[in-house]
Structure 1
Amino acid sequence: MTFFPEPLRPSEGRKEEHLIVDPIEADKKAKENGADWQLPEEKKKSAMYGALLTFINKLTSFFTRNEGDNLETVSQDEMVNGVQALKEIFHSLKATDQSENSKFCQHFSEVWHILYQGLQILSRTKRKAYINVPKLIALIHDMDHYPPNEDHKLGFYLGNYAGESWLPLPFRDILKKLYTDHRVNQHNSTLSKWLDLITEILQG
């Protein structure tokens, strides 16, 4: 029988944080000039973003339907798809600095919410999972507390939907740190370790 630990709780400081919408001037000028949101080197990844958006729309619709049932059921296939979407996000962060890509950040936040909510459901049920739930909990916990020396962690910004309408500098710095850390440390980088954990999660 799979052991489900206590439901995860947001990082400290979430309740005190007041969100301030602070549009990025560069993004604003780009929109005024009719510029495309993608950087030239990112255009080749447009198909991947489309796939991520499809994942997100499917999963969001699923969880919205189940809210009327007191969130007592969860589709294991949708959880697997959510983990796969997170895997693609990590690969993209390894390859490209996505810290200024507001749409990418929006996708990241939405996938985070889908998996976080799914874990809340699974923690209250005794159903057999197709994924390794304790490993997924460990991954979400690591993300929720990264980086260790910041007042607000990655999980804080994802939990507050950092993305198109709110893209604070500390959040962008965290994404840049993940990218540069992988450039320097490669197989020992944080992203590589998270991807190794995802492999174990998908093995069930």
Structure 2
Amino acid sequence: MGSIQNPVGRGPRDPLEPTRRVDPVSEDKRNRHNRPQKPNSGPPDEKFGIFAFLLQAFNQLVEFVLEKSGSFKSSETQANKNLQALKSLFEILKIEDRSQDLQFLGELSTIWRQILEDSLHFKNDFISPLFKKLINNIQRYPENLPHTFGYYLSEYADQKWIPFPYMELIQTIHTEHTKNPTSSLLNEWTSIIDEIALLLKPE
């Protein structure tokens, strides 16, 4: 048994010894405050929703581009067909006077109106100027008449009667070609059509 001089266990606290008490709860709060915080990336459902929205928007953009590309190619193909039909009619007119052929004149007017519509779809820097050149040359011929060749072509498509000035212009164009084929208007117009066709030809 221990004596009074040597007690068992720790003796009385020295009143001069500084007191240091650690609160476990406060210590844990301080450690959590000093710990680096993870960035708030949002709930998993929210992240998945954003990703799905972006994916859908991207797919719609791709579909739109492909649709426009296909539509443009389709327009080019149809325009080329119409140009070749116009060229065929001009080639016939080089050989024969069709000024009295009402069916021929009706077909020529119908194809011309389709050519005018086709010209609106081209923004290509190479094709568009040639289209405009072809249209302007035909629209403004001849310059000394109140109504030009282009006017009659545009105004009398699908009509059951053909005005006499229109028929005269057809005859004049044919006659001019027979006199000087290499520099005739028909030869010039068909050459422009050939240039456009080369640019429209698929690679």
Superposed pair shares fold, TM > 0.5: yes
Question: Which residue does 1:38 correspond to in 2?
Answer: none
- 1:184 is matched with which residue? 179
Alpha carbons of 1:168 and 1:162: their partners in 2 closer, same or farther (altered >3 Å)?
A: farther
Percent of pairs with identical residues: 30
Give the match's secondary structure for 2:109: helix
CA distance in 1, matches of 2:157, 2:141: 15
TM-score (norm 2): 0.58
CA contact (8 A) 2:110 2:158 kept: no
State the alpha-carbon separation in 2 of the partners of residues 94 and 163 from structure 1: 23
* Local SS of the residue matching 2:141: coil
Could you tell me how far apart the structure 1 residues matched to 2:175 and 2:133 are? 23
Larger Rg: 1 or 2?
2
Shift of 1:132: 2.3
Check if 1:117 corresponds to 2:117: yes
Which is richer in helix?
2
- How far apart, in 2, do the equivalents of 1:203 and 1:79 lie? 12
The Cα of 1:159 is off from its aligned counterpart by 0.8
Counterparts of 1:109 and 1:136 in 2: how far apart (Å)? 17
2:79 maps to 79
Q: Who is 1:155 aligned against?
A: 150
User: 1:198 and 2:186 equivalent?
Assistant: no
1:118 shift after superposition: 1.5
Unaligned ranges ≥5, structure 2: 1-70
Does the Cα contact within 8 Å between 2:106 and 2:159 map onto a contact in 1? yes
Amino acid at match of 2:91: H
Cα displacement (A) at 1:117: 1.0
TM-score for the superposition, normalised by structure 1: 0.58
For 1:123-138, list aligned pairs within 5 A.
Answer: 126=123, 132-138=127-133
Change (3 A) 1:174 1:163: farther
Question: Runs of 4 or more off by more than 4 Å in structure 1?
Answer: none
Distance in 2, matches of 1:179 and 1:187, equals 13
Match of 1:97 in 2: 97
Secondary structure at the aligned position of 2:121 is classed as helix
Higher normalized contact order (CA 8 Å, seq sep 6+, divided by chain length): 1
Secondary structure of the residue aligned to 1:75 is helix
Cα distance in 1 for residues equivalent to 2:95 and 2:158: 19
Partner of 1:144: 139
For residue 31 of structure 2, what is the aligned residue in structure 1? none
**2:162 is the alignment partner of 1:167:** yes
Name the aligned partner's letter for residue 188 of structure 1.
S
Q: C-alpha separation between the residues in 2 aligned to 1:141 and 1:81? A: 20
Instruction: Name the SS for the 1:121 alignment partner.
Output: coil
Q: For residues 83 and 139 of structure 2, what CA distance do their matches in structure 1 show?
A: 16
1:46-65 equivalences under 5 Å are none
